[in-house]
Amino acid sequence: MAFFHAWRFTHFVAEDGQRTDSPERLTPADKVWLLATGVRTPKPRNHTLPTFPYATVQLPGPNGRLASWYGAVPRARGTVALFHGYTSSKSQLLHEAGYFRSLGYNVLLTDFAGSGNSAGYRCTVGYHEAANVAAVVRWLQRKPGPVFIYANSMGAVATLRAEAQLGIRPTANLLECPYGSMLATAQSRFRSMGVPAFPMANLLVFWGGAANGFNAFNLDATAYAARITTPTLLMWGAADLRVTRTETAAIFAALAGPKQRQDFSRSGHEPYWRQHEALWQRTVAGFLNRQ
């Protein structure tokens, strides 16, 4: 049963249809059904195109072909590479990309392997996605100008692993709500359903890693942070039910380089500009201006 859940959690389905709702919005009957059958998640798609001029770029990646949108600006100050979260796609970051362009930065938005227009259907919640981050950053670093990373949730964890274990070094990171570890995020999903986390969360993490060729207990953003000297802005929503204050504090404390933290009151596991656009813009622009 745990292997079945882990497989469904890390493999999207090809056909379109309704995905399993978030745990916080499920009825008691839905939760019982979910525990018996596992999640069903259609491959995330891009339903919106950029309104700014862009080129479609196909990049080779170790997990399959990566689909990106590259939006250049005149006399760019650098390039921001944007990476999305779990069950998301690059089109979900178009608002942020537009703001970075207004600040004078090129943008490159990429679908992780398994999502959007990129190859495959598998998602490892940050582990293999780290190799996608590394491939994108290395491609950008062959172009003129500094490279910045903006990533949220799973994308933020993939970024931390790419820097700690795969050797990339961008100019700076802007990270939103990375989870503390794979075990912590599995435990939070069970708690959000009102179900005891032990032992199912532990079994889910074990089989999720085994099914995808890695030790998921070692997928640990806090441990990665201790090896990162890149200047990093860490952002978190104070109403986030999936990533706790304790996890965020541990990651921030572990970061080995220059760092800044910004919390957003009332924001959950969501883009912070939705409720705090002015604060989000000031925070992001101020951090970039100091690099």
Residues 237-249 pLDDT 10s: 999 999 999 999 9
State the amino acid at position 28 in one-letter form: P
Instruction: Give pLDDT, residue 82.
Output: 99
For the 43-181+219-289 domain, the top CATH level (class) is: alpha beta
CA angle 158, 122, 108 (to 5 degrees): 50
How far apart are alpha carbons 15 and 146 in whole angstroms?
40
- Name the DSSP letter for residue 166: S
Report domain extents, the chain. Answer: 43-181+219-289
Phi, psi of 57 (to 5 degrees): -120, 135
Which tokens go with 277?
Answer: 């656009």
Q: What is the pLDDT of residues 226-272, one digit of tens each?
A: 999 999 999 999 999 999 999 999 999 999 999 999 999 999 999 99
In tens, the pLDDT along 26-50 reads: 677 665 556 656 677 899 999 999 9
Quote the pLDDT of residue 4: 82
Give the pLDDT score at 205: 96
Distances (CA, A) of 136 to 113, 128, 130: 12, 13, 10
pTM, to two decimals: 0.92
**Could you tell me how many residues make up the chain?**
291
